[in-house]
Amino acid sequence: MIDTLREAPSATTVRTRRRRATRPTGWLFILPFLIVFAAFLLAPLIYAGYLSLWTKGLATGTTFAGFDNYTRAFGDPSFRKGLWFVLKFSLVVIPLQIVVALVAALVLDEVTGRLARFSRLVIFLPYAVPVVLGALMWGFLYSASFGPVEQIATAFDVRAPFLLSQGNIFYGLLNVVTWQWSGYYMIIIYAALRSIDSSIYEAARIDGASGRQIAFRIKVPMVSSALVLILIFSLIGTLQFFTEPQILGPIANGSVTPDFTPNIYAFNLAFRYAQFNYASAISFSLGFVVFLAVAIFMVATRKRGSIFT
C-alpha cells in the first residue's frame, strides 16, 4: 500500500504531462497563421533585406554593397525631405486626432440610448470605409472643377481654395487623415471608459466634483494606457504615410512629388525606376526611424509612468 502511494504521481506532475500532451495540438491550431505570416511577411522582409545589401548597375552588374545603400539613404536629400514632411505631419495630426477622439469618447460616455449608438456609428463610419475609397471621395470633394466645395463657392460668387495645391496640401491631407482615423481611436477610448467602475464617479459627485472635473481629473487619467496605445499606433501609421497622397496625387497638380514621403519615394524607386536594391534600403531605413521613434516614446512614457497623469 505504501509503495503504491509512493509511486502515484503528484498533481504537479500530472499537470505537466497534460501540458506536454496538449502542446502539439496547440501548435496545429496556430500553424495556418504561422504559414501565412512566414510566407507573406517574414519571407518578403528577409528578401528585401537581402536586396538592400546589393547594388545593380548596367555596367557593373550586381555587386555586394554592404551598408553603402543605407549610408546613401540617410544622405539622400529626397529621403530626408520626405522624412521631414512626415515628422512635421505627425506633430500636428497625432495631437489633433487624439483630441477629436477623446472629446467624442467623453461626450458619448455621457449620452445614453439610441442617440449614443447612432453617434458612435457615424463617428466610426469613416474608418470602416476603405482608405483608397475614402481618398477618392475626398478627391471628389476637393476637386477644383466639379467638386461640391467649388460649386457652393461659385454659387456665392467666390472661389474656394484648392486644398491640394502646393501651399494647402498639408492641410488638405491633415483633414483627410484626421477624420479617417479619429473614429477608430474614439472606439478604443470609449471601450476603456466603459470599463471604469461607475462607483468612482458617484464618489466624486458626492465630494462635489463637477462634470468637467470628473472628465479631466478622473476619466482621462484612468484611460491613459489606451491613449498611449493610440499614440503608438498613430505614430507608426503616420511615419509610413503613403495611401492618401498616392491616390490624391493625380489631381494635386504636381503637389505630390515622387519623393513626397519616404514610402512614396521607395515605391517610385522600385516600380518606376527599377531600383529595387536602393528602394529596399530606403524602406528599411524608414523602418529603423519608426522603430527608434516608438522606442524613445515608450521609454519616455515608462519613466514618467504616464504622460497624461
3-class DSSP string for 141-167: HHCCCCCHHHHHHHHCCCCCCCCCCCC
125-131 contacts: CB < 8 A, separation 24 or more? Answer: 125/183, 126/179, 126/180, 126/182, 126/183, 127/180, 127/181, 127/183, 127/184, 128/183, 131/180, 131/243, 131/244
Q: What is the mean pLDDT of each run of 10 residues along the chain (309 residues)?
A: 51 61 74 92 94 86 90 95 95 94 91 78 87 91 82 82 89 93 92 90 88 89 91 91 93 91 95 93 94 88 56
CATH code of 95's domain? 1.10.3720.10
pLDDT of residue 115: 77
Same domain, 97 and 21: no
Which range of residues forms the domain containing residue 165? 74-304
Same domain, 139 and 207: yes
pLDDT of residue 2: 45
- Residue 56 within any structural domain of the chain: no
Same domain, 10 and 118: no
Number of domains in the chain: 2
- Residue 50 within any structural domain of the chain: no
Other beta carbons within 10 angstroms of residue 21's beta carbon come to: 9
- Residue 54 within any structural domain of the chain: no
- Residue 255 within any structural domain of the chain: yes
Q: What is the dihedral of CA 107, 113, 118, 121, to 10 degrees?
A: 70
pLDDT of residue 114: 76
Specify the pTM. Answer: 0.84
Cβ-proximal residues to 250 (8 Å cutoff; 6+ apart), any chain:
none
Same domain, 274 and 127: yes
Q: What is the DSSP letter of 39?
A: I
pLDDT of residue 119: 83
Same domain, 287 and 238: yes
- Residue 200 within any structural domain of the chain: yes
Same domain, 163 and 279: yes
pLDDT of residue 5: 46
Residue given cell 513626397 in the structure block? 260
- Residue 49 within any structural domain of the chain: no
Same domain, 79 and 36: no
- Residue 175 within any structural domain of the chain: yes
